[in-house]
Chains A and B, each alone.
Chain A
Amino acid sequence: MATIAVAADFRWNIPPGFPKPTVPAANPMSEAKVELGRYLFYDQRMSFNGKESCATCHRQELAFTDGRAHAEGATGQAHPRSSMSLVNVAYATSLTWGDPSLHSLEEQALGPMLNVEPVELGLKGHEREYADRLRQEPVYRRLFPLAFPGEAEPYTLPNITKALATFERTIISMRSPYDRYRWSGDSGAISEAAKRGELVFFSSERGRCFRCHDGWNFSSIRYDGSQARADEGGADGFFNTGVSLYTAPNRGAYEYTKRPEDVGKFRAPTLRNIAVTAPYMHDGSLATLEDVIDHYVAGGKYDDANKSNIVRPLKLSDRDKKDLVEFLKSLTDDELLRDPRWSNPWVNR
C-alpha cells in the first residue's frame, strides 16, 4: 500500500481500547464519501444488466456475506469461491481468500466490477455508460461533488472505488456479547457454556482455534503489518487446512505466488458473526459450525504435504464441541446486522 495515514478526526464510533483503522493518505475519510459509498454499494445499476449490486453478495443481515457456497454473478455464473464477510475489512492487511498481495480496498473493488472469469457485476466495456448513469442520478449529482470537492469531473472509476472503500472501512463490528464480556467487564453478557467454549477456543491443548483465528478480530491477518507465523502459516497468515483437493482455480495463494508450498493455503478470516455466515471455508463446503468443528477434530478432511501442522486431530468431548459453538455464537454483533447506517439507502426514499 502507498503512504498510510491514521484518520485522526473522522468519527469512527469505535469502543474504547480498540484500534482505529489505518486509511490511505490518498483517500481520507469524510461523511459525504461514506454516504456516497453506501449508495454505490447498494445500487444495482452498478451491474451492466441492473441485476446485482455489491450488496447482492454482501448482505448486511448475513454480516455482508450471501449464504451461498459460491457467489453468483449478474449473468448467473458461479464464482469458484464463497463471498467473504466485509466486517472489519478496514483492518485487513490483505484481501480475498487467497491473494497475499492485494492490500488495497480501492483496488479490490475493481475485481467484482470488471472481472470476466466469471462475470460478477460485468462492468468491463460498460464503464462509460455507468459513469453516464451516475451523472444523471440526482443522489449522485449531490454526493459526488461533496465527496470529491473541487474536482471538475468527479464521476471516475477511481473515485467510485474510493467511495466504496470508504464505506467499507466503516463496516466495523466490535460490540458482540463476547466483546461486552471480554473488554467491557460485563460478566453476564455470555452464557456459562460460551465461557467454557472460550477456554476450548484459546487452548492449544484442546481446540487450538486461536492459533489461526487470533487477536481481537479472530483472524490470521496482522493489523500491524507484521508477519504472521511464517513457519506454520505461510508468509502472511495463510493456512492449508485439508479442506479439499485444491485443484485450479482453488489452489489458494499458489494461484498468485506460484510456490508449490503455497498450494491450498487460504487466509483464516474473522470469526466475528460466524454464526450467520454459513456455509464455511473458501468453497462453502462445510455447511454448519458443527461440521467445521468436526472437520478440525478429525485433523482436516484431506492430508497433504502443505497442510498446516496446527491442523491435527483434537480431543474434544461432545460438551466441548457444544460449548465451542455457543462461544462462536457469542461473536454475533446484532448492531452490525441491523443498524441503518450500513443499510440500503435506496429503500424508502
Chain B
Amino acid sequence: MMASCCIWAQDASVVQVTGDVKQALSLSADDLAKMPRATARTSNNGMETVYEGVWLHDVLKKAGVPEGGELRGKALTTYVLVEAQDGYQVLFSLGELDPAFVDSRILLADTANGKALFGAQGRFRLVAAKDKPGARSVRMLSKIEVVQLRK
C-alpha cells in the first residue's frame, strides 16, 4: 500500500502509458483534446453525468498495441493495469478493451458535464459506464501499464 507521501510524487497532470507498447506515452489534457473524442453517460443516485474523453482503446492504439486482426495468439495474454495516484489498481484484458471483440466502451475521461475533472476525480479517470458497480471506473488515473504475459 502506498504511503500518502507518494501521492504527491506522481505528476497529476499527465497519464503515463508504459510497458509492452511500441511507444510509451505521457499524455496531457491537451494531448487528449487532439484525439478522437467520445462520451459516456452515468447516473449516480439520480444525478446524471456526461463524461467526455477518449476511448481507452484509442489511447492504447496510439501507444501501439496489437488490435483487431492482430490481436490473436500470445497477444491475447496481454493485460492492461490501470493505476490511480493512491496506488489503487484495476486490470483489464486487452481483448475486452478492443471494439473488434466486444463493445465495452471504457472511456478515459478528462471532462464531466463540460468541466475539467478535479479534486477526488483526479484530472483523468476511467468511466466503465456498462459496469454495475463503480469499482473499475478508476478515479485519479495516473498510469496505464500494458503487460504481455506470454511472448
Contact = CB atoms under 8 A, between A and B. Distances in A.
Contact of A215 (B3, B45, B84): B45
Contact of B47 (A17, A187, A206): A17
Contact of B88 (A204, A217, A316, A319): A204
A304 to B, nearest CB: 25
Contact of B1 (A182, A315, A319): A315
A203 B86 contact: yes
B139 interface: yes
Interface residues of A, number: 30
A266 B88 CA distance: 28
Q: Is the interface of A mostly helix, strand, loop or mixed?
A: loop
Given A17-B47, A216-B47, A205 B2 contact: yes
Given A17-B113, A201-B120, A216 B45 contact: yes
B7 interface: yes
A203 B120 CA distance: 8
A13 B26 CA distance: 44
Contacts of A185: 115
Contact of A19 (B46, B86, B133): B46
A224 B86 contact: no
A204 B47 CA distance: 22
A203 B140 CA distance: 9
B2 A19 contact: no
Contacts of A205: 1-2, 84, 86-88
Nearest to B47: A216
Contacts of A215: 44-45, 47
A202 B139 contact: yes
A199 B7 contact: yes
A10 interface: no
Nearest to B89: A205
Nearest to A199: B120
Nearest to B122: A199
Interface residues of B, number: 23
A319 B4 CA distance: 10
B73 interface: no
Contact of A229 (B1, B48, B113, B133): B133
Interface in B115-130: 115, 118-120
Q: Is the interface of B mostly helix, strand, loop or mixed?
A: loop
Given A181-B119, A199-B7, A222 B88 contact: no
A319 B5 CA distance: 11
A103 B125 CA distance: 35
A174 to B, nearest CB: 10
A195 B119 contact: yes
A185 B118 CA distance: 10
A222 B2 contact: no
A29 to B, nearest CB: 17
A247 interface: no
Nearest to A185: B115
A72 interface: no
A317 interface: yes
A187 B118 CA distance: 10
Nearest to A6: B46
B8 to A, nearest CB: 10
Given A205-B2, A205-B86, A216 B44 contact: yes
Contacts of A204: 86, 88
A329 B48 CA distance: 26
Interface in A1-55: 17-19
Nearest to A21: B46
A199 B10 CA distance: 15
A198 B119 contact: yes
Interface in B127-141: 133, 139-140
Contacts of B7: 199
The 6 closest A-B CB pairs, nearest first, are A19-B46, A202-B120, A223-B45, A215-B45, A205-B86, A203-B86
Interface of B: 1-4, 7, 43-48, 84, 86-88, 113, 115, 118-120, 133, 139-140
19 contacts: A17-B47, A17-B48, A18-B47, A19-B45, A182-B119, A187-B118, A198-B120, A199-B86, A203-B84, A203-B86, A203-B120, A203-B140, A204-B88, A205-B1, A205-B84, A205-B86, A223-B45, A224-B45, A319-B4
